């Protein structure tokens, strides 16, 4: 993590073993440049040297949450953008220091170290004087420059113009609160493994360890401060997992819709978790009921993450690397009692955890992903037993990927019944609740849930090659 203002100094740093700030700024600017060029921040951060990675991620995520403002300020300081590496470094510095109350370091330190980063970088050395001049002018005229960008919605909300317009249309009462929540840093939330412990005793255990936390939902614990997982009591033993509170609703919704007891050794349910990686929902299903779970994902590498997750928790599922949309390649012909489809989506509900998403997505992605979601629903529905339930969910707040998708499916499938489910959850912080009826009390991401019941007369077809 990047040290706070109180602990931050110049290149020497308060901590002699910590990387100098100019190196972190170089690396963070590299991540920002990669995102602007269309690459995910996750991939760019993975290439950063290990000792630099935590600080780089913290600075890069901060910069990406404020990139719209930073680019607007850079336009005022220099209407013609400098070469991409210099532009990324300048915008990173502006994003970090435009609002003094949220700057991770003293603003003068950030400016000094950004100039140092420019001088020491082969790709930015020729623009170091330009970067220095822009940042010094910014320090002199900061209030006026910030005020001049305030009328630009991309600068004000730090989201693309089309994204803002879509939220206004989809959530006319909450769009501003959604955007505000997206620009905050999310908390670290745990899910208690109900096979091993319960919420109240685990909260007491955290208190004894000096870790502040509050409960959310039936199984969730929101930590007051992020903590390395191996320092969390019982994490290595499988007592808890990291999972946002909104995502924790999936397994209980499906299990209860099937009338299953919490844990039963008789007649285990047969459940498909489609698009299952990295395995959090698979594990939660197995924590709540004795079930035969098939965990499916198209990516073999991500399937390994499912195996790793289950191994830590002492759980077992049949993990299959295959395309959920091509059942003939992997289905054994035996219908499932329940299906969980956490479909690929824009990830517009988890932007605060992945701030690069807003800059990587294009408006056309919504229709393309909605078409994929529809194909997956159509492919998996025949695999469900009559009387069973399919839980469709996405980590999106766009209605085309949520409510509209579910309504279209029900209209086109006479045997499908939309049962009671939360619908759209919008992201909210601890500081402010959105007042949305189905939202949890507390901090969580944006999500959508539709529980689709299958009529008794709507049978499953035979498997076709």
The CATH number covering residue 237 comes to: 3.30.70.1170
3-state secondary structure of 102: helix
Q: Is residue 183 part of a domain?
A: no
Q: Is residue 175 part of a domain?
A: no
**Residue 313 to residue 99: CA distance in whole angstroms:** 43
Residue 187: pLDDT band (50, 70, 90) is very high
Neighbours of 422 (CB within 10 A): 19
Q: Among 15-24, 154-163, 317-326, which is the least confidently predicted range?
A: 15-24
Q: Is residue 159 part of a domain?
A: no
The residue count for the chain: 465
Quick one: pLDDT at residue 279?
97
Q: Is residue 327 part of a domain?
A: yes
11 and 32 co-located in one domain: yes
Q: Is residue 116 part of a domain?
A: yes
In this predicted model, which residue has the larger pLDDT, 438 or 249? 249
Residues 6+ apart with CB under 8 A from 19: 13, 51, 52, 55
Residues 406-430: what's their mean pLDDT? 92
**Residue 310 to residue 128: CA distance in whole angstroms:** 50
Q: Is residue 182 part of a domain?
A: no
Q: Pick the catalytic residue from 134, 275, 303, 395.
A: 395
How much of the chain exceeds pLDDT 90, in percent? 88
Place of tokens 């336009």: 75
3-state secondary structure of 191: strand
Mean pLDDT of the chain: 92
Residues 6+ apart with CB under 8 A from 122: none
The CATH number covering residue 47 comes to: 1.10.940.10
Asked whether the beta carbons of 366 and 416 are under 8 A apart, the reply is no
Pick from 151, 168, 200: which residue ends a domain? Answer: 151
275 and 194 co-located in one domain: no
**Residue 42 to residue 356: CA distance in whole angstroms:** 9
Residue 464: pLDDT band (50, 70, 90) is very low
**Residue 293 to residue 181: CA distance in whole angstroms:** 35
3-state secondary structure of 451: strand
211 and 251 co-located in one domain: no
Quick one: pLDDT at residue 267?
76
Q: Is residue 132 part of a domain?
A: yes
231 and 257 co-located in one domain: no
The CATH number covering residue 400 comes to: 3.40.50.150
Quick one: pLDDT at residue 307?
97
Handedness of CA 270, 254, 262, 455 (dihedral sign): negative
Quick one: pLDDT at residue 251?
97
Residues 134-151: what's their mean pLDDT? 97
Q: What is the pTM of this model?
A: 0.91
Quick one: pLDDT at residue 13?
43
Q: Does 395 qualify as catalytic in the annotation?
A: yes
Pick from 124, 151, 178: which residue ends a domain? Answer: 151
Sheet of 269-274, strands arranged across: 318-321, 291-297, 269-274, 336-342, 384-394, 447-454, 416-425
Comparing C-alpha atoms, which of 176, 326, 154, 313 is closest to residue 234?
313
Residues 432-438: what's their mean pLDDT? 44
* CA-to-CA dists, residue 426 to 281, 343, 348, 402, angstroms: 20, 18, 10, 12
Quick one: pLDDT at residue 15?
64
How much of the chain exceeds pLDDT 70, in percent? 90
Quick one: pLDDT at residue 431?
52
pLDDT digits 0-9 by tens, 95-141:
999 999 999 999 999 999 999 999 999 999 999 999 999 999 999 99
Quick one: pLDDT at residue 266?
64
The burial class, CB within 10 Å (0-12 / 13-18 / 19+), for 258 is middle
118 and 236 co-located in one domain: no
Whether the predicted pLDDT of 282 surpasses 90: yes
Residue 420: pLDDT band (50, 70, 90) is confident
Residues 372-389: what's their mean pLDDT? 97
Residues 189-200: what's their mean pLDDT? 97
| Cis amide bond preceding 179, omega within 30 | no
82 and 218 co-located in one domain: no
61 and 138 co-located in one domain: yes
251 and 233 co-located in one domain: no
Residue 389: pLDDT band (50, 70, 90) is very high
Quick one: pLDDT at residue 219?
97
Host domain of residue 85? 5-151
Pick from 242, 270, 286: which residue ends a domain? Answer: 242
258 and 357 co-located in one domain: yes
Whether the predicted pLDDT of 441 surpasses 90: no
Whether the predicted pLDDT of 4 surpasses 70: no
Quick one: pLDDT at residue 265?
56
Comparing C-alpha atoms, which of 463, 424, 459 is closest to residue 445?
424
427 and 279 co-located in one domain: yes
Quick one: pLDDT at residue 442?
77
263 and 133 co-located in one domain: no
**Residue 66 to residue 5: CA distance in whole angstroms:** 18
The burial class, CB within 10 Å (0-12 / 13-18 / 19+), for 304 is middle
Q: Is residue 179 part of a domain?
A: no
3-state secondary structure of 342: strand
139 and 224 co-located in one domain: no
In this predicted model, which residue has the larger pLDDT, 308 or 440? 308
> Could you give the number of structural domains in the chain?
3
């Amino acid at each position: 993590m990047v040290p706070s203002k109180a602990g931050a100094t110049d290149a020497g740093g308060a901590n002699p073993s910590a990387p100098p700030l100019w190196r972190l700024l170089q690396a963070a600017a590299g991540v920002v440049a990669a995102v602007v060029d269309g690459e995910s921040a996750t991939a760019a951060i993975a290439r950063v040297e290990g000792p630099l990675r935590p600080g780089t991620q913290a600075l890069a995520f901060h910069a990406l949450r404020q990139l719209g403002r930073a680019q607007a300020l850079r336009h005022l300081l220099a209407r013609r953008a400098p070469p991409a590496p210099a532009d990324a470094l300048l915008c990173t510095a502006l994003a970090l220091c435009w609002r003094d109350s949220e700057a991770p370091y003293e603003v003068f330190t950030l400016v000094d170290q950004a100039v140092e980063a420019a001088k020491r970088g082969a790709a930015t050395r020729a623009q170091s004087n330009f970067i220095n001049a822009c940042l010094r002018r910014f320090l002199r005229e900061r209030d006026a420059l910030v005020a001049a960008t305030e009328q630009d919605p991309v600068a004000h909300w730090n989201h693309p113009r089309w994204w803002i317009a879509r939220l206004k249309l989809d959530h006319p009462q909450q769009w501003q609160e959604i955007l505000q929540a997206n620009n905050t840093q999310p908390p670290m939330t745990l899910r208690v493994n109900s096979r091993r412990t319960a919420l109240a005793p685990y909260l007491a255990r955290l208190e004894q360890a000096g870790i502040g936390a509050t409960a959310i939902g039936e199984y969730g614990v929101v930590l007051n401060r992020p903590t390395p997982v191996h320092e969390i009591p019982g994490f290595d033993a499988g007592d808890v997992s990291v999972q946002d509170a909104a995502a924790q609703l999936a397994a209980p919704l499906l299990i209860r819709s099937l009338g299953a007891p919490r844990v039963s050794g008789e007649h285990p349910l047969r459940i498909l978790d489609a698009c299952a990686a990295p395995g959090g929902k698979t594990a939660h299903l197995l924590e709540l009921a004795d079930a035969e779970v098939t965990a499916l994902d198209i990516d073999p590498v991500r399937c390994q993450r499912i195996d790793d997750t289950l191994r830590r928790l002492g759980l077992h599922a049949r993990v299959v690397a295959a395309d959920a949309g091509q059942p003939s390649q992997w289905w054994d012909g035996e219908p499932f009692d329940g299906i969980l489809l956490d479909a690929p989506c824009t990830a517009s509900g988890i932007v605060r955890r992945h701030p690069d998403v807003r800059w990587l997505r294009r408006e056309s992605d919504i229709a393309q992903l909605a078409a994929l979601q529809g194909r997956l629903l159509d492919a998996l529905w025949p695999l469900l037993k009559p009387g069973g339930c399919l839980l469709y969910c996405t980590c999106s707040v766009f209605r085309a990927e949520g409510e509209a998708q579910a309504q279209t499916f029900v209209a086109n499938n006479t045997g499908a019944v939309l049962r009671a489910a939360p619908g759209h959850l919008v992201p909210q912080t601890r500081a402010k609740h959105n007042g949305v009826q189905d939202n949890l009390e507390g901090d969580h991401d944006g999500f959508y849930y539709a529980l689709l019941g299958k009529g008794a007369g709507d049978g499953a077809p035979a498997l076709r090659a």
